[in-house]
Structure 1
Amino acid sequence: MAEKRDQWLGLRRMHLRLRFLQGESTGSYVTRLAARNNRPAEEVLRSMGTGPMPIDPQYTEMYVSSYARERLATLAGHTVAEMQERLIGLRDEFLMPEDAKADWEWPWDARAGYIVQACSLCAARRGTRSPAWLILPDPWQVCLRHRRWTDNSRSTRHPYIDLSGLGEVVRAQQRLNRMRKRLGPAGRWVFADACSILVRSGYLEEPAQSKQWGVLAATLGEQRVRPLAQFSRLVLLARDLAWLEVRRLSRALGSTEYQDWLARTTSRHGHRFVEPLTVWHRQHRPLKQPMPQLFGEGVPSSAAVRRATGHALPSPLAPVEDLTCLPWVRLPNSMDRLFL
């Protein structure tokens, strides 16, 4: 910014610190920090520089300049590095350009990811009773601690979906967590490929026609229930893809087990999955060239990973459609608010 700044602006830590929520959006954190210290959000922002009035963080993400990021870190009582580690929106890739005319912005649509409501019980454990909002690569989250499914719905009547009677969804998330821990960065593109295969198959397109999901769909709407109705199958697909991908990436995939995998997997999932699984199988042949180390200290370049594996190295908020090597993903366009 061209004008002279106040050198003392935002150089004093606020009286009360705030506990982080995993995956929280920057806008939600700033709003909670203000409420924690019994201050209007506008006052906190004025200590960070100059820019537009705040927007309710349930609608979009807040993006800041490097100057505002430093001031926010000081106000919060953390280093910039600590803030970047805990708030994805403060990482360098999401900073505003140096020649920006303001220190922050609240664009109508988040540049990446979805705004998803945080589990209110998790938020309460960290000292907040008001809604908190996350920025995630997928438009939902499963809280295993409290058995809740939250999404980017803005419903005040049904802010979450109780999973206490939906054990299959809970078990599916547990399997997904184990798979991602084992695969590391590759877990995201395996999940993305499973999403694409599921879309192509047409599996459970109309949950209202299912006895299991019909009542919930009548209450919450088919669009909101569809991800839950598909989730168990989606994770089973991801698990089967992961079995092959783990062996492929470790250069331990033999030709016999490569061929056997397709027959075994199509038999397990049924005829409607044969075509998309066959396409995926052809695109994930045993590797013939050295594979960049995904799990060591040095992070390989995305270009090197793509050359070796056919997939990009995922960024934290990379959407499914950018990660999959298959062409069938159908997700909302950038202006959609799924469940408003």
Structure 2
Amino acid sequence: MAGRDPWLGRRPLHLRLRFLQGESTGSYVTRLAARNMRPVEQLLASIGAGPMLPVEPQYTEMYVSRYGRERLANLSGCSVAELSLRLISLRDEFLLSDGSGDDWEWPWDARAGFIVQACSLCAARRATRAPAWLILPDPWHVCLRHGRWTDNSRSLQSPYIDLREHPGVVRAQQRLNRLRKRLGYAAARWLEADALSVLTCVGYLENPSQSMDEWGRLAARVGEQRARPVAQFGMLTRLAWDMAWLEERRRAGRLSAEDGLSWLRRVEQRYDVAFNRPLASWISGHQPLQHTRPQGEGVGTNGRDQTEGVGHGPAPLASLQDLTCLPWVRMPNEMDRLFL
């Protein structure tokens, strides 16, 4: 952009800031300004030119140009490579186009992902007292260190759900972590997405407020919309774990038609007969892989590459509803843009 000051943002700020895993760029910039006792508008002026006043980071994400990313890296006292690694929205695919004329913008809608409140205890370990915000592929986050579930509700009265009252959710996240370690993150995400679609098809705990157990009590306290993903999470991870048994054999080229039928019978006995139809549809779209395949094979009837999770993976902020190959798609909790 013509007229840029060549010395703009060249000098690092006096006080550096520790990163939060998964933090949004808007949250980091706001915290960096507060750490150095500057208005965020002043820090943004050091990054470059922008089209509007900054938006509070709990509402949307901030994006920068290549030039703005370099200036922000200088101000934060780290390299562009480190900053892009720590803040996902600073990666090349999210940069403003070179012809945009702006070095930063704070649009009303995040381009990808959900703004989720960070665990306040994790933030406090990094000397942050004010709320910090994450940009994540799904509208929830489980902190195993402190036993908290946070989401994108922006509630001031109940900023998190205490998982000491819901130990099954902690076990579910641990199960999911084991699945990701066993299959790889990408393949586990595909399975998690398909498992969520199956739960949508069967209507599993569609309205937890109607139950009289812990989920009904949670829904009465925080609302049905926030309680639903918490209530579904245990079943989601159990189903994904069971689907992994079949997926491992498919990827190894050892899945027979009899394997699929016997697996369906076991799942029907474990869960409910309502799961049979969507899971049969899932199996039909995932034919066994062969170690040597003619060119063009390996793509399911749904169009998703059947080698998914092998050598490549989903976009970093692709949500479960974007990843599933099944037609029943609805995220359990979408609360973005509550300020409109």
Please confirm whether the aligned pair reaches a TM-score higher than 0.5, indicating the same fold: yes
Q: C-alpha distance in 1, partners of 2:291/2:313?
A: 17
| Structure 1 counterpart SS, 2:164 | coil
* Structure 1 residues 38-77: aligned runs within 5 Å: 38-51=37-50, 52-77=52-77
Q: Which runs of 5+ in 1 are unaligned?
A: 292-304
Structure 1 residues 149 and 339: alpha-carbon distance in aligned structure 2, compared to 1, 3 A threshold: farther
Structure 1 contact 224–339 (Cα < 8 Å) conserved = no
1:115 is aligned to 2:142: no
Structure 1 contact 266–277 (Cα < 8 Å) conserved = no
Output the amino acid matched with 1:129: R
1:216 is aligned to 2:191: no
Q: C-alpha distance in 2, partners of 1:306/1:327?
A: 12
Two-structure CA RMSD over aligned residues (Å): 2.1
Q: C-alpha distance in 1, partners of 2:205/2:332?
A: 18
| Structure 1 counterpart SS, 2:165 | coil
The equivalent of 2:286 in structure 1 is: 284
Structure 1 contact 207–217 (Cα < 8 Å) conserved = yes
TM superposition shift of 1:18: 0.7
Q: C-alpha distance in 1, partners of 2:146/2:308?
A: 37
Pick one of 241, 246, 260 that aligns with 1:239: 241
Structure 1 residues 339 and 206: alpha-carbon distance in aligned structure 2, compared to 1, 3 A threshold: farther
* Structure 1 residues 1-340: aligned runs within 5 Å: 1=1, 3-51=2-50, 52-184=52-184, 185-212=186-213, 213-288=215-290, 306-309=304-307, 313-331=313-331, 336-337=336-337
Structure 2 contact 176–237 (Cα < 8 Å) conserved = yes
Output the amino acid matched with 1:323: L
TM superposition shift of 1:279: 0.5
Q: C-alpha distance in 1, partners of 2:178/2:332?
A: 28
Q: Please list the CA deviations of residues 112-139 of structure 1 after superposition, one character each: whole Å capped at 9, or x if unmatched.
A: 0100000000000011000000000110
Output the amino acid matched with 1:309: T
Structure 1 contact 258–285 (Cα < 8 Å) conserved = no
- Larger deviation, residues 207-216 vs 324-333: 324-333
| Structure 2 counterpart SS, 1:211 | coil
Output the amino acid matched with 1:88: I
Output the amino acid matched with 1:36: R
How many residues are paired up?
326
TM superposition shift of 1:322: 1.9
Output the amino acid matched with 1:6: D
| Structure 1 counterpart SS, 2:199 | helix
Structure 1 residues 334 and 141: alpha-carbon distance in aligned structure 2, compared to 1, 3 A threshold: closer
| Structure 2 counterpart SS, 1:149 | strand
Structure 1 residues 211 and 333: alpha-carbon distance in aligned structure 2, compared to 1, 3 A threshold: closer
Structure 2 contact 150–160 (Cα < 8 Å) conserved = yes
Q: C-alpha distance in 1, partners of 2:169/2:331?
A: 21
TM superposition shift of 1:215: 1.8
- Larger deviation, residues 58-67 vs 206-215: 206-215
Output the amino acid matched with 2:129: R
Structure 2 contact 228–333 (Cα < 8 Å) conserved = no
Q: C-alpha distance in 2, partners of 1:333/1:7?
A: 45
Q: C-alpha distance in 2, partners of 1:67/1:175?
A: 42
Q: C-alpha distance in 1, partners of 2:119/2:305?
A: 39
Structure 1 residues 207 and 324: alpha-carbon distance in aligned structure 2, compared to 1, 3 A threshold: same
Q: C-alpha distance in 2, partners of 1:143/1:175?
A: 14
- Larger deviation, residues 51-60 vs 246-255: 246-255
Structure 1 residues 105 and 332: alpha-carbon distance in aligned structure 2, compared to 1, 3 A threshold: farther
Structure 2 contact 59–336 (Cα < 8 Å) conserved = no
Structure 1 residues 332 and 50: alpha-carbon distance in aligned structure 2, compared to 1, 3 A threshold: farther
TM superposition shift of 1:290: 5.0
Q: C-alpha distance in 1, partners of 2:232/2:321?
A: 18
Structure 1 residues 333 and 228: alpha-carbon distance in aligned structure 2, compared to 1, 3 A threshold: closer
| Structure 1 counterpart SS, 2:72 | helix
Structure 1 residues 138 and 339: alpha-carbon distance in aligned structure 2, compared to 1, 3 A threshold: farther
Structure 2 contact 304–325 (Cα < 8 Å) conserved = no
TM superposition shift of 1:332: 8.1
Q: C-alpha distance in 2, partners of 1:26/1:84?
A: 10
Structure 1 residues 142 and 22: alpha-carbon distance in aligned structure 2, compared to 1, 3 A threshold: same
- What TM-score do you get using the length of structure 1 for normalisation? 0.91
TM superposition shift of 1:218: 1.2
| Structure 1 counterpart SS, 2:217 | helix
Structure 1 contact 153–339 (Cα < 8 Å) conserved = no
Q: Please list the CA deviations of residues 275-311 of structure 1 after superposition, one character each: whole Å capped at 9, or x if unmatched.
A: 11111111122113659xxxxxxxxxxxxx9444378
Q: Which runs of 4+ in 1 moved over 6 A?
A: 332-335
Structure 1 residues 40 and 7: alpha-carbon distance in aligned structure 2, compared to 1, 3 A threshold: same
